[in-house]
Structure 1
Amino acid sequence: MDLTTRYLGLDLRTPIVASASPLNGHVDSALQVEAAGAAAIVMPSLFEEEIVHEEVELTRALEAGSEHFAEALDYFPDVDDAYMTTTDRYLATLESLAARCEVPVIASLNATSPGGWTWHASLLERAGAAALELNLYHLAADPTLDATAMEHRDLQIVEAVRTAVSIPVAVKLSPHYSAMANFAARVVDAGADGLVLFNRFYQPDLDLESLEVVNRVELSHPGEMRLPLRWMAILRPQLGPDVSLALTTGVHSGTDVVKALMSGADVAMLTSALLRNGASHLRTVESQLVAWLEDHEYESTDQLRGSATTATSGDAAAFERTNYVQVLHSWAAPHHLTPSSPSS
């Protein structure tokens, strides 16, 4: 069975990729992920906010009391050499993984300023990243910015990073752009080599006792795969075979990988399934994928890929329209809720 695939110009053993997660942020656990069968590893995002916050706190700590004792700063002449910043730690991990992993290591970046995107992208390339995933994670919560302004800002980011690095660049999108098909094509025109569908937003909760906002991490479930699956099937024929496409969110099993490939994805990315079941779950997913392909007499993943897009589906509208009425009518009530016939 030929499982080989190509993503962002990288030759991969299988289409199963370990997407950004805490497992991939430490050398030991990332090597376990590779050993379990990941065809590529995406590191967790390097967030500019964390870098800036750390730098501000360090500066505040070093300058504490200096307005009264200016000579106090002389006691820290080598602090830059001794202090490991968030960026330093990330780059050190990336360098180690790039040197020790046989599979491609993809760095992930989420910045807030134009300079932050390009500067850190260059650092990640020099540290050995095989490719770069730009994580465009934000909410359009500013009422003074319309959709055009928001999209223009994101496109400028893609263009700037594409100019700053020579390695392949994938853009991880949210599903909330007002005209997704149009924006996806413009991201590619701006220089992206591929797209990752989709970013998963983590919603805060409210604690009714403390009356505080609580951050809760809830792992995905397979049902969440339907949204990226639908858009993958729509975008693949529109963007063509030269654009790399990755499907993420809700991928938990080998049959989920099959669905991703059928919809046109080059690779399927897993996070929650590995956090829930451990890195060894990758072996199970690959075995399930192989079993399905053999049972259905496929010889390769390439033979399967794109077989259920809007270009090949007998009912393309099933992907393109909401099917609101049809879905509602398809629901079957449980027996105890079914109205009984009146007695004669």
Structure 2
Amino acid sequence: MLDLTTRYMGLALKNPVVASASPLTAELESILRVADAGASAIVMASLFEEDIAAQEVHEASLMSMGENSHPEATEYFPSFAVASPLEGRLNTLRRAADRAGVPIIASLNGSTQAGWVHFARQLEQAGAAAIELNIWHVPTDPDETGADVEARLVGILKAVKADVTIPVSVKLPPFWSAPGNVAKQLVQAGADGLVLFNRFYEPELDIRAQTLDSHVPLSNSDDLRLPLVWTGLLSRRLDTSFAVSGGVTSGDDVVRCLLAGADVAMVTSALLRNGPDFIKTMLVAVQEWMTAQKLESVQDFKGHSAAHGTAQAAEKFLRQQYRRIISPTPSLNR
């Protein structure tokens, strides 16, 4: 019997395939379908601070409508206010945590440090097994330095960690001058896991309508290369959990993630293309590969392709691979 179990942020998981945040993990019924299909954990669709703030402003405006229009109506409030996005998300989280049978990880996408902390606390109280900080910040101010951006990121993590007791991971964008150092700073600040990487969704410019098109292309296996490289470079050097996100489209890709040292592979686009039951197909492929390699457990091969030795040796190795890829010289491509 093959052992597919793994651990991620201290959570014991039955296999290394985790469903990451997507429309499939927004509502209870679809969350349960994903769990039934074999996902070992589920990251709920991200909670955006801006959505909550916008709803609160809307409700405040409703409450103030005509409040002083009649001396007998000063305590009247409209009865048509709807539940806030936060209340709805917390309710879904409570029910999913109770019924899914797998850990539910809450994904939080904040815009202010106070918001990150405030909402993280409520997600923990609603039953989240862990929190994923979905970091998406574009430094559009030319006066904002790289050090400023990094300090902001570390500050958010420290503030959240000081206020919750469940594990906290950080889903990082790939665009840093020194990604390894940023990862190290986060681990030193208490990150229980790193998710490599958050996709930077760029809108397309429609030249006919002269407007931005927000169509989102699904990822493919080619997108997996960058997170695999950095997972392989960091997984043996930093004492934290690693998840690969972006481009995991098959069981073979799951194996690649594990060989690079990841504890789990996070899947989104493959499930949107093929449906939740595709998780079963991926797990079968992992088992077939393990059988062919005469391996009995995930631990038998996890990290086997991760970088080891000195940083200089790793840099030299990558330089060599770079030359092999682009060099037209046949002898370098052998």
TM-score (norm 2): 0.92
* % same residue: 45
Cα separation, 2, equivalents of 1:259 and 1:312: 20
Q: Structure 1 residues 320-329 or 290-299, which shifts more?
A: 320-329
Decide whether aligned partners of structure 1 residues 72 and 329 sit closer, same or farther in structure 2, where only a CA change above 3 A counts: farther
Decide whether aligned partners of structure 1 residues 21 and 330 sit closer, same or farther in structure 2, where only a CA change above 3 A counts: farther
Decide whether aligned partners of structure 1 residues 131 and 300 sit closer, same or farther in structure 2, where only a CA change above 3 A counts: same
Decide whether aligned partners of structure 1 residues 65 and 229 sit closer, same or farther in structure 2, where only a CA change above 3 A counts: same
- 1:326 is displaced (CA, Å) by 2.9
Equivalent residue number for residue 337 of structure 1: none
Equivalent residue number for residue 341 of structure 1: none
Matched residue of 1:237: which SS?
Answer: coil
Are 1:59 and 2:60 matched, yes or no? Answer: yes
Equivalent residue number for residue 335 of structure 1: none
The residue type paired with residue 260 of structure 1 is: C
CA contact (8 A) 1:19 1:42 kept: yes
Equivalent residue number for residue 19 of structure 1: 20
Cα separation, 1, equivalents of 2:142 and 2:320: 28
TM-score (norm 1): 0.90
- 1:316 is displaced (CA, Å) by 3.8
Aligned-residue CA RMSD in angstroms? 2.1
Unaligned runs of 5+ in 2: none
- 1:18 is displaced (CA, Å) by 0.5
Cα separation, 2, equivalents of 1:28 and 1:303: 36
Equivalent residue number for residue 113 of structure 2: 114
Decide whether aligned partners of structure 1 residues 179 and 312 sit closer, same or farther in structure 2, where only a CA change above 3 A counts: closer
Matched residue of 2:44: which SS?
Answer: strand
Cα separation, 1, equivalents of 2:72 and 2:150: 49
Matched residue of 1:279: which SS?
Answer: coil
CA contact (8 A) 1:251 1:270 kept: yes
The residue type paired with residue 297 of structure 1 is: K
Residues 196-237 of structure 1, C-alpha deviations (whole Å, 9 max, x = no match): 000011110122222111111110011000000000000012
The residue type paired with residue 264 of structure 2 is: V
Are 1:6 and 2:4 matched, yes or no? Answer: no
Decide whether aligned partners of structure 1 residues 146 and 86 sit closer, same or farther in structure 2, where only a CA change above 3 A counts: same
- 1:267 is displaced (CA, Å) by 0.3
Equivalent residue number for residue 82 of structure 2: 83
Equivalent residue number for residue 173 of structure 1: 172
Equivalent residue number for residue 202 of structure 1: 201
Residues 284-341 of structure 1, C-alpha deviations (whole Å, 9 max, x = no match): 000000001101111111111000011179x844764385443222599xxxxxxxxx
Equivalent residue number for residue 99 of structure 1: 98
- 1:67 is displaced (CA, Å) by 7.0
Cα separation, 2, equivalents of 1:254 and 1:277: 13
Larger Rg: 1
User: What is the 5 A alignment of 1:303-314?
Assistant: 303-311=300-308
Matched residue of 2:139: which SS?
Answer: coil
CA contact (8 A) 1:43 1:106 kept: yes
Unaligned runs of 5+ in 1: 333-344
Decide whether aligned partners of structure 1 residues 73 and 115 sit closer, same or farther in structure 2, where only a CA change above 3 A counts: farther
